Amino acid sequence: MVKETIRVYARLKPLGRRQQAGIYSVDDETSASSLEITVPRDLADGFINNKRESYKFKFQKVFDQEAKQDVVFESIAKPVAECALAGYNGTIFAYGQTGSGKTFTITGGAERYSDRGIIPRTLSYIFDQLQKDNSKVYTTHVSYLEIYNECGYDLLDPRHEASRLEDLPRVTIMEDPDQNIHLKNLSLQQASNEEEALNLLFLGDTNRMIAETPMNQASTRSHCIFTIHISSKEPGSPTIRHSKLHLVDLAGSERVAKTGVGGHLLTEAKYINLSLHYLEQVIIALAEKNRSHIPYRNSMMTSVLRDSLGGNCMTTMIATLSIDKRNIEESISTCRFAQRVALIKNEAVLNEEIDPKLMIIQLKREIQELKDELALVTGKQRTSQLSQEELLQLDELIQIFLEDSDPESTLDVEADMRKIKYCFTYLKNHSKISDGKLLSHHICEEKDTSKEDGKEELKKMKELLQQRDNEINILVNMLKNERKKAQDALFQLSAASAGSTSLKQSHSTNLEESQNPSRFFSLKEAKDLSSSVHRLPFISRMKEGKMSLGCQEAFEVFKQDHADSITIKDNEHLLKQRYAEAKCLGEKINEVRNKINHLKGKITQRHIQRAALAVSNPSEVLDALDPVEEKLRSQIEEEKKSYDTMFNRLKGLKVEIEHLQLLMEKAKMKLQKEFEVWWTEEGANLQTQQEKTELVSSPNTTMVYPQFIKSSQHPLASSFSETTRANSNEDPSGRNNSIIFNNPSTKIRTSPSSSTSIPLTGDSQTDADILAFIKARQNILQKKGLGNK
């Protein structure tokens, strides 16, 4: 591996007849050369002129105007060609403005033989060295790529000789997973000698895009990359060395405002300048140490030269400069670009790979040699397969080894891999047979264990079923308690109605019942109706609950009847109020803060205005206090006080909210623990509670009602009777809008208009359902024509 920076050289173009040379000087040192360009100041710019006059740049070597082509080749291209012959990749590219001598340096002139450029001289040098070196076998291939307006063309395609550029094959870029660039449709032409290579070079040059511009009569309008591929191999060695040498002639940059080109030339200039701009971006990115992304894919040229610019390559740059006074600025820009290129470090690696065909042959030869040595040592010639006698002997040895009960016994099959593999195969097959025998034994054992597991599982299921029955019984008990409450409410209703009627009315109602029993419904049906209506919310909650065991529903009912539920609701309500207050305070605090910042901004603007006033009118005295600023400061102080007050209140609310949350958490934990204790007690005393609930669920209404009838002195009955009489005066018929309850012992007639006719149960949903049912019953009777009888 060779690590080195890109070598940078400078070459000065000779001046023409009408060109005036700029001021420059070349300092040739031992290790490096320097070029100093002087730009005199223009007196028209005035006495105060801070423009830079002297520009000094360092290069590996600076070739002055008198430098010949052979000297340039010996110093620049020959070391790179030697590295390519040794197996390293190399690149030489020329950079500069249009008309500065890039194509002359790389390709050469056509007038004299001594004007040959780097490409023909490099081809001549490489083939001379290949003829001298007889220790290796060399193969060379040549490719010629042109990039015109960001499109690639193959200049060496044999099917399109002397045709237009648009008819040449289009070259496209493809990238493999290892980020290696492959050029599709770019042909590799084999060149066995110098003559064939030069013919291919001349063929490609005739297909290049050339046009006349104000800066150059024969300006190349495209980037061209001539690549020499070299592969070498020593006879008998499996190692092959590959290398490639890029010789790049870049199109020249130009300032359109200076050249004044238009039309098709303007389009070409835009593409050339854009590609060179992307090249400079890549150079700048490579020069930065901590840069993670290099924009190679921005243009086709930078993608093709990826290895040359920042990878496995030994790269050399030639900066071509035009020292004409009109082009001094472009020459300075080219030198600056060269200094940035000189900062890039490349790591060139020797490109070697092993030929797979030769490797296979070599491995076969080594295997045969090892077999011969083994036969010489053992005295036996081994084949790939064991003989029948050897197989029988191995079977006997394996049987003896398996039948031997000694744990320290060994199986000696000598140092023969064929016998070792056969023993392993035999033991593997024998283990499958023994596994089949053991499988039936394991199946019998599994059947016995499955029976025991089934008994244990049945026992667990019975216990789980008993637990579910206990929970269901607890829920049934709670439902019956709810039903009992509804029945008690109906008892109060029947008692009040009985106190307001006489025994004669009871007798008449009995007669009416015997004549038309369909008008009446029993008190038992009303009680069942009330209990069912009161029970509906609870049943619906139980069905909608996620727990099928009923524990969640029992907890909801227990929480409603618990004494701490009111405290929890009050705390929740108070917590919501505190949250709302804290939110409101936070918004007010933000408004005050924004207002303070706004006032500070006004003060800053006031300072700027006063400073500007002082500059414009230095005679005025501005040391006096500004009343506007004082007013703004007083407003800021007031806002700060209100901000402190609200912030302190917000801190207090935060403490209060945290305290309320802690109290609610403790209350909920207490409620949950008490419910668990109650749930356990209900499960333990389940049998006793079932007997009690059965006695409560069958009330003897015939014994209760006469007691209310006899006790005519009961204050509720007397008040109810007075109300009934008052209502009978309002309704002379005494029968309209009346409801009659049917019971074996007592018949009751009430008026819905009376305020105390129906005592409420205390549950709003149950009371509403009872009244709705009674009113519906009354409407049905009126439609049948029985309401006025």
Mean pLDDT of 386-394: 82
pLDDT surpassing 60 at residue 773: no
φ, ψ dihedrals at 326, nearest 5°:
-70, -20
pLDDT above 70 coverage of the chain, percent? 71
**pLDDT digit string, tens, across residues 59-78:** 999 998 889 999 999 999 99
Predicted pLDDT at 130: 92
Predicted pLDDT at 700: 44
Mean pLDDT of 481-486: 78
Confidence of residue 414 (pLDDT cuts 50, 70, 90): confident
| Structure tokens that stand for 338 in this block | 């060269």
Confidence of residue 114 (pLDDT cuts 50, 70, 90): confident
Angle at 103 between CA 99 and CA 106, to 5 degrees: 145
Mean pLDDT of 222-227: 91
Predicted pLDDT at 751: 39
Residues 6 or more apart in contact with residue 474 via CB below 8 angstroms: 550, 554, 679, 682, 683, 686
**Dihedral of alpha carbons 163, 169, 171, 172, sign:** positive
Confidence of residue 584 (pLDDT cuts 50, 70, 90): very high
Residues 6 or more apart in contact with residue 425 via CB below 8 angstroms: none
Mean pLDDT of 615-635: 73
**pLDDT digit string, tens, across residues 502-561:** 334 444 444 344 444 433 334 444 344 333 333 333 333 333 434 334 677 777 777 777
- The region that residue 187 occupies, defined by phi over 0 for left and psi between -120 and 50 for alpha, beta otherwise, is beta
Mean pLDDT of 727-753: 39
**pLDDT digit string, tens, across residues 277-318:** 888 888 888 888 788 888 888 888 889 888 888 778 999 999
Predicted pLDDT at 452: 80
Pairing between β-strand 7-13 and β-strand 739-742 as defined by DSSP bridges:
unpaired
Predicted pLDDT at 95: 92
**pLDDT digit string, tens, across residues 262-287:** 777 888 888 888 888 888 888 888 88
Confidence of residue 81 (pLDDT cuts 50, 70, 90): very high
Predicted pLDDT at 670: 84
Predicted pLDDT at 82: 93
**pLDDT digit string, tens, across residues 86-97:** 999 999 999 998
pLDDT surpassing 60 at residue 227: yes
Kindly report which listed range (209-218, 236-245, 399-408, 457-466) carries the lowest average pLDDT score: 209-218
**pLDDT digit string, tens, across residues 634-643:** 889 999 999 9
Which has more pLDDT, 80 or 98?
Answer: 80
Predicted pLDDT at 435: 57
Predicted pLDDT at 514: 41
Predicted pLDDT at 618: 62
Confidence of residue 257 (pLDDT cuts 50, 70, 90): low
Predicted pLDDT at 365: 87
Predicted pLDDT at 226: 94
Predicted pLDDT at 526: 39
**Cα separation of the two ends of the chain:** 121
Predicted pLDDT at 229: 95
Q: How far is Cα 397 from Cα 610, in angstroms, rounded to an integer?
A: 113
Report which of 513, 490, 485 is spatially closest to residue 745, judged by C-alpha positions. Answer: 513
pLDDT surpassing 70 at residue 451: yes
Predicted pLDDT at 726: 38
Bridge partner residues of 175 (DSSP) = 181
**pLDDT digit string, tens, across residues 132-160:** 988 888 999 999 999 988 889 888 877 65
Q: How far is Cα 320 from Cα 338, in angstroms, rounded to an integer?
A: 10
Confidence of residue 755 (pLDDT cuts 50, 70, 90): very low
Predicted pLDDT at 386: 79
Inter-residue contact 291 to 285 (CB < 8 Å): yes
Q: How far is Cα 480 from Cα 475, in angstroms, rounded to an integer?
A: 9
The pLDDT mean for the chain works out to 75
Confidence of residue 730 (pLDDT cuts 50, 70, 90): very low
Predicted pLDDT at 472: 82
pLDDT surpassing 60 at residue 29: yes
Predicted pLDDT at 549: 46
Report helix angle 564-616 to 551-561, nearest 10: 80
DSSP one-letter code for 625: P
Confidence of residue 722 (pLDDT cuts 50, 70, 90): very low
**pLDDT digit string, tens, across residues 679-701:** 777 777 775 655 665 555 544 43
